[in-house]
Chains A and B, each alone.
Chain A
Amino acid sequence: MNFLKGNYKIKKKFKTKKLSKEEELEKIFEENAKKRIGGSMVYVSKKKVNWDLEE
Chain B
Amino acid sequence: MFFQKLQKKLGSITNTSLSKEIYKNILRNSKIVKKHFSIKELKNKNFNNSKVALIVAGGPSLRKKDFRNLITKNRKKFHIICAEGTLFYLLEKKIIPDLVVTLDPHKKRIVRWFGDKNLTKKDLKKDDYYRRQDLDLKFRDEVSTNKKILKYTNKYGKFLNVAPCTSSSSLVVKRLIEMKSKLFWWNPFLDEPKQKNSLSKKIYKLNKLPLLNSIGNVGSACWVIAESVFGFKKIVLIGMDCSYYIDTPIKATQYYDILIRTFGKKNINKFYKKIYNRKLKKYFYTDHVYYWYKNLFIDAVKNSYSKTYNCTEGGIIFEKPIITRKFKDFCSIELIK
Residues of chain A whose beta carbon lies under 8 Å from any beta carbon of chain B: 22, 25-26, 28-30, 32-53
| Other-chain contact of A41, B6, B167, B299 (Cβ < 8 Å) | B167
The answer on a CB contact under 8 Å between B215 and A42 is yes
| Other-chain contact of A39, B2, B11, B15, B106 (Cβ < 8 Å) | B106
The answer on a CB contact under 8 Å between B213 and A22 is no
Q: 7 A-B Cβ contacts within 8 A?
A: A33-B10, A39-B104, A42-B10, A42-B215, A43-B190, A49-B228, A50-B200
With A30-B13, A42-B214 known as contacts, the answer to whether A36 contacts B263 (CB < 8 A) is: no
Closest to B11 in A: A44
Residues of chain B within 8 A of A53, CB atoms compared = 193, 201, 204, 211
With A34-B13, A37-B258, A38-B254 known as contacts, the answer to whether A45 contacts B213 (CB < 8 A) is: yes
Nearest 10 pairs of A and B residues by beta carbon? A42-B216, A48-B228, A50-B211, A32-B262, A33-B13, A49-B228, A43-B189, A44-B11, A40-B216, A39-B104
Residues of chain A within 8 A of B90, CB atoms compared = none
Closest to A25 in B: B267
The answer on a CB contact under 8 Å between B263 and A43 is no
Cα(A25)–Cα(B211), bound, Å:
35
Closest to A50 in B: B211
Beta-carbon contacts under 8 Å, B1-54 to A: 1-2, 5-6, 9-11, 13-19, 22, 40, 43
Q: Which residue of A43, A45, A51 has the most chain B CB atoms within 10 A of its CB atom?
A: A43
| Other-chain contact of B17, A22, A37, A47 (Cβ < 8 Å) | A37
| Other-chain contact of B189, A36, A50, A52 (Cβ < 8 Å) | A50
Residues of chain A within 8 A of B64, CB atoms compared = none
Cα(A46)–Cα(B13), bound, Å:
19
Cα(A48)–Cα(B289), bound, Å:
20
Closest to B224 in A: A48
Mask of B284-311 contacts with A, CB within 8 angstroms, 1/0 = 0000010011001001100100000000
Cα(A40)–Cα(B192), bound, Å:
18
The answer on a CB contact under 8 Å between A26 and B190 is no
Q: Which residue of A29, A34, A38, A51 has the most chain B CB atoms within 10 A of its CB atom?
A: A38
The answer on a CB contact under 8 Å between A46 and B303 is yes
Query: How many contacting A-B pairs (Cβ < 8 A)?
Result: 128
Number of interface residues of B (CB under 8 A): 60
The answer on a CB contact under 8 Å between B16 and A49 is no
Q: Which residue of B13, B214, B217, B270 has the most chain A CB atoms within 10 A of its CB atom?
A: B13
Cα(A29)–Cα(B216), bound, Å:
19
With A25-B2, A29-B262, A30-B13 known as contacts, the answer to whether A41 contacts B255 (CB < 8 A) is: no
Please give the distance in Å from A52's CB to the nearest CB on chain B: 7
The answer on a CB contact under 8 Å between B9 and A45 is no
Cα(A44)–Cα(B218), bound, Å:
15
Cα(A32)–Cα(B103), bound, Å:
23
Residues of chain A within 8 A of B167, CB atoms compared = 41
Residues of chain A within 8 A of B15, CB atoms compared = 41-43
Q: Which residue of B188, B200, B216 has the most chain A CB atoms within 10 A of its CB atom?
A: B216
Q: Which residue of B2, B19, B224 has the most chain A CB atoms within 10 A of its CB atom?
A: B2
| Other-chain contact of B213, A26, A36, A43 (Cβ < 8 Å) | A43
Known: A34-B16, A36-B17, A48-B213. 12 other contacts (CB 8 A): A29-B6, A29-B262, A36-B258, A37-B14, A38-B289, A39-B254, A40-B104, A42-B214, A42-B215, A43-B15, A43-B189, A50-B204
